[in-house]
Amino acid sequence: MNLDKTKLMHLRSHLVSKTSHRSSHKPVFSTLAMLMILLSPWTLVAQDGPIVALVGATVHTVSGDDIGNGTVLVQDGRIIAVGAGIETPDGAEVVDLSGKHLYPGFVLSASALGLTEIGAVRATNDLGEIGDNNADVRAEVAFNADSLLLPETMAGGVLTAHVSMNGGTITGTTAVMRLHGWNWQDMTISTPAGMRLDFPSVSTAGDDEEDAESSSEAIEQLDELIENAEHYAKAKAAGTVDHDPKMEGLLPLLEGEVPLYLFAYNKAQIEKALDWTAEKGLDNLVLFTGQDARYVAERLATENIPVVLTGILSLPWRAWEGYDTPFTTPSVLHEAGVRFAISDSASSFGAMNSRNLPFHAAQAAAFGLPKEIALRSVTLSPAEILGVADHIGSIDVGKEATFFVSNGDPLEIRTSIERVWVQGQEVDLKNRHQYRLYDKYNNRPRPAATSE
């Protein structure tokens, strides 16, 4: 069989496109993997970089069945084959992972990583701007690629984060970031991922008159802001208005070009926020919320609104609620048919504890959420909700080679993350502050033993 390089590259591109968009319920041993077995010499000719073959591990694809004694071939930062019994191409670098487990990197779907370092030190925080409308603010530009929190987070298997600013009502556009790279440009997977809106608090029966008035005024100001943006769009089309960056930043949201990432937490606020978005015709949205999502689960499922759920490892908000209210909320959403991802909070405190993301999912699994759904809630589900499932979230042909090796189930606290790759590049897990401190004090000078 003779295939020239151009034709083979076109064939491979076509197969990657088809396999990377298949249903998440289909097996991952793809047509392209079969092609690699049958035509590996010609496939190698069509590629530029060296091939790395990770062999022997149990491959947890998340999108399909686990693959025992599996092989994953990586080239130019992407996965080119996944399966069992795949022949290792001549000249490939072989990484023996026998007895280990290979998982896609965890995806933190609500985070302030890279935007804050030490919450109490103002100079290390770049979390937001003043004013109600910051639609022109871009989270990725503020992202600190050298943050000391990133290596610690990757050591927990969290390799991707969706970051957003706060401050004001419209806080700016968000971005999905790799946690390893040279700079923010190199680390950006998707921007703008969405526009964040922190919905105003909503008064309830127990609020005093002053709180109720303040809540009403805040919603009226938000209404006025959207109305002004609509007028700006019309004036811009007529050529009768000067350029306004903040108004300009709202236009993609109003035109449906970017999704609305709606932050609302208690039941009354969630319901009001959903009513408000429906009234404004903003139907491309994701709800970022907490344990009160359980009280509106049926509506969320009916209206097909995806949810990013935070605060699993927390206390119930009300004295009359059961102690396990936050722990069981994911299973309530799952049983109602709500699409959801589990995350930590998008706060400075959450950023410092991002490495604990898998244990939020583990707690949900311990309280009724099926184990496979818990794993999916921190891998493929957030990737789908954030619109980056063609890049990350599962171990599939055509996706970025962003995964980790563990010695067991990563939702178990006793499991160790042993090796990590981000976009095909292995990350040195020892190159982090925590490990250096451990190594320093583990090798500290010790007094000589004394004899009695």
The string of pLDDT tens digits covering residues 134-146 is: 999 999 999 999 9
**pLDDT above 50: residue 50:** yes
**pLDDT above 60: residue 25:** no
Half-sphere exposure of 278 (CA within 13 A, CB side): 11
> Would the CA dihedral through 136, 141, 147, 152 be positive or negative?
positive
Distance (Å, rounded) from C-alpha 198 to C-alpha 257?
19
pLDDT for the residue 350? 80
Name the region of 391 (left: φ>0; alpha: ψ -120 to 50; beta: rest).
Answer: alpha
Q: What is the pLDDT of residues 103-129, one digit of tens each?
A: 999 999 999 999 999 888 888 899 888
Q: What's the mean pLDDT in 288-300? A: 98
Q: What's the mean pLDDT in 337-348? A: 90
**pLDDT above 80: residue 194:** yes
**pLDDT above 70: residue 162:** yes
Would you call 38 exposed, middle or buried from its count of C-beta atoms within 10 A (0-12, 13-18, 19+)? Answer: exposed
**pLDDT above 70: residue 271:** yes
Are the C-beta atoms of 328 and 368 separated by less than 8 Å? yes
Among 261, 301, 248, 79, CA closest to 162? 261
Distance (Å, rounded) from C-alpha 164 to C-alpha 37?
43
Give the rounded percent of residues in the chain with a pLDDT score beyond 70: 88
Q: What's the mean pLDDT in 8-28? A: 39
Distance (Å, rounded) from C-alpha 292 to C-alpha 269?
10
Domains annotated on the chain, with CATH: 5-99 (2.30.40), 106-393 (3.20.20.140)
pLDDT for the residue 47? 54
Q: What is the pLDDT of residues 178-191, one digit of tens each?
A: 999 999 999 999 99
pLDDT for the residue 206? 65
Q: Supply the pTM of this predicted model.
A: 0.86
Q: What is the pLDDT of residues 389-419, one digit of tens each?
A: 999 999 999 999 999 999 999 999 999 999 9
**pLDDT above 50: residue 306:** yes
Instruction: Output the furthest CA–CA distance in the chain (Å, rounded).
Output: 95
Give the chain's end-to-end CA distance (angstroms, integer).
Answer: 82
Confidence of residue 452 (pLDDT cuts 50, 70, 90): low
Q: What's the mean pLDDT in 424-437? A: 85
Which has more confidence, 393 or 168? 393
Which 3-state string (H, E, C) describes 288-345? EECHHHHHHHHHHHHCCCCEEECCCCCCCCCCCCCCCHHHHHHHHHHHHCCCEEECCC
**pLDDT above 60: residue 5:** no
Average pLDDT, the chain: 88
**pLDDT above 60: residue 150:** yes
**pLDDT above 90: residue 15:** no
Q: Which of 335-344, 375-384, 441-450 has the lowest mean pLDDT?
A: 441-450
Q: What is the dihedral of CA 297, 111, 404, 406, to 10 degrees?
A: -70
pLDDT for the residue 427? 95
Confidence of residue 18 (pLDDT cuts 50, 70, 90): very low
pLDDT for the residue 451? 66
Among 154, 159, 189, 186, CA closest to 174? 189
**pLDDT above 70: residue 57:** yes
Residue 372 phi, psi dihedral angles, 5° rounding = -70, -30
Q: In terms of residues, how long is the chain?
A: 452
